[in-house]
């Protein structure tokens, strides 16, 4: 069973640029959630995708957007990067069956640095 994978592991961008982060969910999982973890803080929920539709969103501006593909992998896109976007971005996959929550499995994260 393959776990959650994320790419790239590290990324350096400059202010104003755009970035795309990728996540492959664990086999059999249909739900992907994205979290932002700033240095020294707990992860903050960005949004969740279930069967290719956004299924919940945290307090993040519209320049944070996402996609989920038919194979349940996902992308996180951030436009007009700001210095405060520097963080570890975590992807988590889970299996939502019949509305019942199942454990979220986290990937190793992508470390984004905005200069």
Segment contacting other proteins (CB under 8 A): 13-21, 45-53, 63-71, 76-84?
A: 45-53
Identify whether the C-beta of residue 35 lies closer than 8 Å to the C-beta of residue 57: no
87: which strand partners?
112
Q: Could you tell me the smallest distance in angstroms from the CB atom of residue 8 to other proteins?
A: 14
Identify whether the C-beta of residue 79 lies closer than 8 Å to the C-beta of residue 18: yes
How far is residue 39's CA from residue 36's CA, in Å, rounded to a whole number? 10
Residues 6 or more apart in contact with residue 89 via CB below 8 angstroms: 6, 21, 34, 35, 36, 37, 76, 109, 110, 111, 112
Binding track, positions 24-43, relative to other proteins; x by CB under 8 A: ---------x-x----xxxx
103: which strand partners?
none
Among 7, 56, 83, 115, binds other proteins (CB under 8 A): 56
Among 19, 26, 78, 107, binds other proteins (CB under 8 A): 107
Interface with other proteins, residue 77, by CB under 8 A:
no
Q: What token pair was written down for 93? A: 């996959």
Between 66 and 109, name the residue whose CB sits nearer to other proteins. 109
State the residues that interact with other proteins by CB under 8 A. 4, 33, 35, 40-45, 48, 50, 55-58, 90, 92, 99, 101, 103-109
């Amino acid at each position: 069973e393959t776990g959650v994978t994320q790419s790239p592991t590290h990324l350096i961008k400059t202010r104003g640029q755009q970035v795309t982060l990728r996540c492959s969910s664990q086999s059999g999982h249909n739900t992907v959630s994205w979290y932002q973890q700033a240095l020294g803080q707990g992860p903050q929920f960005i949004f969740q995708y279930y069967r290719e539709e956004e299924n919940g969103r945290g307090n993040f501006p519209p320049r944070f957007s996402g996609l989920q593909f038919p194979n349940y992998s996902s992308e996180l896109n951030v436009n007009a990067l700001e210095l405060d976007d520097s963080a570890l971005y975590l992807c988590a996959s889970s299996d939502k069956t019949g509305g019942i929550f199942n454990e979220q499995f986290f990937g190793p994260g992508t470390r984004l640095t905005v200069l």
